Structure 1
């Protein structure tokens, strides 16, 4: 909402007095949080019922069982973990989590727009007056979201499944304090005001961070898809050995799609060098592949063969700094600078921040997926942090400096050879 941004007096005042932007803050935010939770919960419940019917045409169990499965899937996407036949499963299907985060963003943005007329205007905020609009709305939003999650947990849990209350609470708060808070700030116009107060270099470094992280995840996704397609016959063979009919195959495919983002993060860790484990005592990396018996899961067809790795896989380690350099250069191309220190700071700081964010994402990519050694599956987040900060930081620095050189060279040609001497 732009009602708080500086503009002509009468228009700005008129927007702030518009009742559409001064709705009851607590009520709107609580209802918004509940709506965000229910939107994805209802999708999961519907998927659970459809899956129950497709699995055996309703020959076993009741629709209530399908609803419970859908609710447990929604809780699993919020980090609950469950027990299946006495086996603990803690891996989070990040596809469903991303869907929940998107719903929080969309609803949170509308909540922010609805309450944007509360609190001081842009001039008073710039003068240092405290504004609790975003904080209050986020707290109420989180309250509505958590309430739906706790009710769902109480209705869906059984002594056999035993989802974790603490983990669900923590994940719900995490979603609301990241995607929810930012979307409310953007929708209410506060984000634009706060961003205007930041130094230009900080804003540019933030843009570089997002561009580096997005570009690298895109490359990791392409690498994963190439690996999967290369050995797609193995994935098809796995499905055939499961002896699934059309309904079971549809359900299994949907479940597989829900963990595809996890596989992309595994691929990102692989390309960085640390790799990941598929059970205790295993390792999949560009320099070493050591595997044990694997469960029958189609996405595992993307894994390389166990044993010595080809010589060319070592060169994959160059992808991370190269992607960071290109992304940093493209980011600076959109926001030019002619100062060497500015280009260095933007690229290096943005790359380091992207490395930290990637490490945080990998902390939730793995977990327990079965008994025994399968209780340890996923990347080592600390190793990812060290490698990502180093690779992205160096790549971002190089990209920033190269683009600064190019922009200085272009400016010198346009203005004369001596025009930039004072900036050197």
Structure 2
């Protein structure tokens, strides 16, 4: 709890009063730290902590691959910095090849660190501004906007400095894209974290209409459960073709250190792989090179790089008849989620229940399409400059499947609830009619 939400301490005696005063003083000191340095330094830490981890991992990988026989530690540090920059949208040239794909696993790690640090910043500045009662009465409170802005500036400064120091004539990172992504993480992740940490979110969220919160709940549950379905599909594909993945590792003649690095890289690319799996289950599919396609109906492949995750790709040619039925998965999942929310938060009005399920499904579809647009890009020379899901087709299929599924699930449960409510009312009327002394 923050000072914004904490009740005043009780005082039942001289000793208790002194103890309560000391505790209240410590709490006030902990929650009224100077806003400007606290928020700015928080942004620097949120950006710098993952950056240091990336550089440390790069140095460890350098020793694991050739025991430091080639290159210098500075080169390894630069590679780690480039990885951090790529997680923030920067394109990087490697041996003359421009890499534009983002390692979304690393991006999510940076966002998680920004959330944790932002939450601590919110707790540290929660004592600034008006208290909860004054905010509820309409007093203007700019503590969170000021802190979020300073947090974002600190984050972006680290990004610009990293791009400047790590840049070489051959790599040429893109500082402008780093600034944009730093602002997105700082405002879209750090800002809400500061609001929750400072206690302001607990005051502001109840002001939102209930229907908006319910729609957001439906969309969030659809996305989280869909991610789990995509993960299960990806793992099943890897298990069924595990021999291919093992063959890839053996052909690379990778030692223990290289296998560890390859595993770490696969984990960083796992969110990308989940979005590829999502595009496959939705129906449109994805491409793994110019002139290729992977979908539930047909698979056309070409020469592929030696990477274990690619073993999950289906065999080339026409697909079995049952793969077409996989496109019903998102519709069924959205129906189950919308029905579950309808059971937990019943709405007996047909139109309101349908709107909640449909809007939640469409919102989830739009969010999924935006994420799918970030999953691909250029990952190598030649054909490998075109890799990724078919984003626009994913958008159409996702909003259709999730939207229709949300409507059906909400309406079916709503009909069941209305029918049950009607049966209860009839039973109550019959019970009253049989009661003594009633006509």
Q: State the TM-score, normalized to the length of structure 1.
A: 0.93
Alpha-carbon offset, residue 336 of structure 1: 2.8
The match for 1:323 among 309, 328, 333 is 333
Partner of 1:191: 201
Distance (whole Å) between structure 2 residues aligned to residue 408 and residue 118 of structure 1 = 49
CA deviation map 1:230-264 (0-9, x unaligned): 11111111111111111112112211221011000
Q: Which residue of 2 aligns with 1:45?
A: 55
Aligned residue in 2 for 1:372: 382
Which of 324, 346, 364 is equivalent to 2:356? 346
SS in 1 for 2:318: coil
Aligned mates of 1:325, 1:132 — CA distance in 2: 41
Deviations 1:19-46 (A, max 9, x none): 3222211211111111111221121111
Structure 2: distance between partners of 1:8 and 1:243: 64
Name the counterpart of 1:62: 72
Q: Give a deviation string over 1:359-393, Cα, whole Å, max 9, x none.
A: 11111111100112211110122211111111111
| Per-residue deviation, 1:308 | 0.9
Structure 2 partner of 1:114 = 124
1:396 equivalent to 2:406? Answer yes
Q: 1:242 aligns with which of 239, 243, 252?
A: 252
Partner in structure 2 of residue 172 of structure 1:
182
Shifted more, 212-221 versus 149-158: the winner is 149-158
Q: Which segment is superposed worse, 356-365 or 144-153?
A: 144-153
Aligned residues: 416
CA gap of 1:345–1:16, structure 2 versus 1, over 3 A, is farther
Larger Rg: 2
Q: 1:283 aligns with which of 282, 286, 293?
A: 293
Instruction: Note if contact 1:16-1:22 (Cα within 8 Å) is conserved in structure 2.
Output: no
Work out the CA distance in 1 between the residues paired with 2:281 and 2:179: 33
Question: Which position in structure 1 is the counterpart of 2:135?
Answer: 125
Q: Contact 1:328/1:399 (CA < 8 Å) preserved in 2?
A: yes
SS of the residue aligned with 2:317?
Answer: coil
Unaligned runs of at least 5 residues, structure 1: 420-424
Residue 271 of structure 2 corresponds to 261
Aligned to 1:422: none
Distance 2:130 2:396 in 1: 43
Cα RMSD over matched residues? Answer: 2.1
The Cα shift of 1:3 comes to 4.2
Which whole-Å CA distance do the structure 2 matches of 1:65 and 1:305 have between them? Answer: 39
Q: Residue by residue, what CA displacement relative to the aligned partner does 1:186-244 show, whole Å, maximum 9, x if unpaired?
A: 11222222211111111111111100111111101111111111111111111111111
- The 1:15–1:193 alpha-carbon spacing in structure 2 relative to 1, beyond 3 Å, is farther
Q: Which residue of 2 aligns with 1:86?
A: 96
Superposed counterparts of 1:200-279, under 5 Å: 200-279=210-289
Please report how far the alpha carbon of residue 411 of structure 1 lies from its aligned counterpart in structure 2 after TM superposition: 3.9
Asked whether the equivalents of residues 91 and 366 of structure 1 are also in contact (C-alpha less than 8 Å), the reply is yes
> Structure 2 length as normaliser, TM-score?
0.90
SS of match in other structure, 2:377: coil
Cα separation, 2, equivalents of 1:50 and 1:17: 42
Deviations along 1:7-63, whole A, 9 cap, x unmatched? Answer: 86778xx79982322221121111111111122112111101110000011112222
Whole-Å Cα distance in 2 between the matches of residues 401 and 9 of structure 1? Answer: 47
Aligned-residue offset at 1:94: 0.8
Alignment partner of 1:24 out of 2, 15, 34: 34
Stretch of structure 1 that moved more, 328-337 or 229-238: 328-337
In structure 2, which of residues 385, 395, 399 is the aligned counterpart of residue 385 of structure 1? Answer: 395
Relative to structure 1, the CA distance from residue 9 to residue 26 in structure 2 (aligned partners, 3 Å threshold; closer, same or farther) is same
Matches within 5 A, 1:2-13: 3-5=3-5
- Match of 1:18, SS? helix
Q: CA deviation at 1:162?
A: 1.1
